[in-house]
């Protein structure tokens, strides 16, 4: 047996194992960051538009929404707005890297008006989930 070839294969295996461990560590950190910036409940509506997507969740009479940029990384004007019929809208608007929100309102069984924007792209859905 060639001991140089064995050493190379062992070194390659160790490198692959180390790289996969690093990837798993980074992915779990990203998942935790996403969980901290998300809404509770089940997703009931997804509103895609040219520069982002607005996700809407419902949980025990409460509705939560957030807008995520399609191309995160640089600061851009973003917003998300949820209004239960008969109430004022709850809005998060600012200059963000990745997402606006989450915003939460108590909606009960009322209709909702959902808006989201990233840069020049936007969605304005009117009364939904009635």
Q: State pTM to two decimals.
A: 0.71
Nearest to 65 by CA among 37, 13, 104: 104
DSSP string, 109-129: T--EEEEEEETTEEEEEEEE-
Give residue limits of the domains in the chain: 1-36, 40-128
Quote the CA–CA distance of 48 and 102 in Å, as a whole number.
16
| The pLDDT of residue 20 is above 50 | no
DSSP-assigned letter for residue 28: H
Distance CA 65, CA 124 (A): 13
Residue 11: the pLDDT is 54
CATH 2.30.110 fits 40-128, yes or no: no
Instruction: Read off the pLDDT of residues 34-46 as tens digits, 9 standing for 90 and up.
Output: 444 689 999 999 9
Task: Give the pLDDT confidence of 75-94 residue by residue, as tens digits.
Answer: 999 999 999 999 999 999 99
């Amino acid at each position: 047996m060639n001991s140089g070839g064995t050493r190379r294969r062992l070194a390659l295996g160790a490198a692959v194992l180390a790289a996969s461990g690093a990837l798993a560590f980074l992915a779990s950190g990203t998942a935790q960051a996403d969980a901290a910036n998300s809404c509770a409940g089940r997703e009931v509506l997804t509103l895609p538009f040219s520069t982002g997507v607005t996700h809407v969740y419902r949980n025990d009479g409460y509705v939560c929404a957030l807008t995520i940029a399609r191309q995160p990384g640089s600061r851009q004007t973003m917003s998300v707005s949820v209004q239960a019929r008969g109430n004022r809208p709850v809005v998060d608007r600012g200059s963000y890297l990745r997402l606006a929100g989450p915003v939460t309102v108590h909606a009960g069984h009322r209709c909702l008006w959902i808006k989201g924007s990233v840069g020049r792209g936007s969605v304005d859905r009117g009364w939904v989930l009635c």
